Structure 1
Amino acid sequence: MGQGQWPDGGFHSDVTPPPRPRATAAQLGGRIAFGIAVTAGLIASVALGTPALRGPDAGHDTTTTHHSATAPR
């Protein structure tokens, strides 16, 4: 086995990688705005889709006929 090689074939080192750079204020603001937009879209889709998934209202009678004011009864 070569130096740094382990039996599983991977390379292991005890040198830690440099830390990731911190996100700028603009990047944080963009991430927050994106999260709010996605959340608002999901809420809107539920709010608009829920009435379509419900059955007809129990109190609403769809069998009644409407007569115009000029039609004889």
Structure 2
Amino acid sequence: MFRRREAVPFAFVAEADRFRSNVTPPPRHRATVPEVVGRTLIGLTVAAGFVGALLFGMPALDTNHASGHSQQSEASQGR
């Protein structure tokens, strides 16, 4: 690899910590009432979707399914 012959001045990094700007940032934008209501409705819709998916998915996750018992009972009766 090539080697630099001159040292890299890192003094500007140290000066950056001490630098203060005299320019004030613009004021923060406050959300209006319709924006807050819209965000709340979107959040509630997403939460309701998760709850609905959980409620509809619970029967599929049930290990004691009725058809599983009937298959086991048929197999035990056939012996």
TM range (shorter): 0.5 to 0.7
Distance change >3 Å, CA 42–CA 36, structure 1 → 2: same
Q: Which has the higher contact order (CA 8 A, sep 6+)?
A: 1
User: Number of paired residues?
Assistant: 59
Out of 15, 27, 33, the position equivalent to 1:25 is: 33
- Which residue type is aligned with residue 41 of structure 2? A
- Which structure 2 segments of 5+ residues have no match? 1-8, 72-79
TM-score by length of structure 1 reads 0.57
Indicate the SS of the match to 2:58.
Answer: helix
TM-score by length of structure 2 reads 0.53
Q: Which structure has the highest helix share of the two?
A: 2
RMSD: 3.4
- Which structure 1 segments of 5+ residues have no match? 64-73
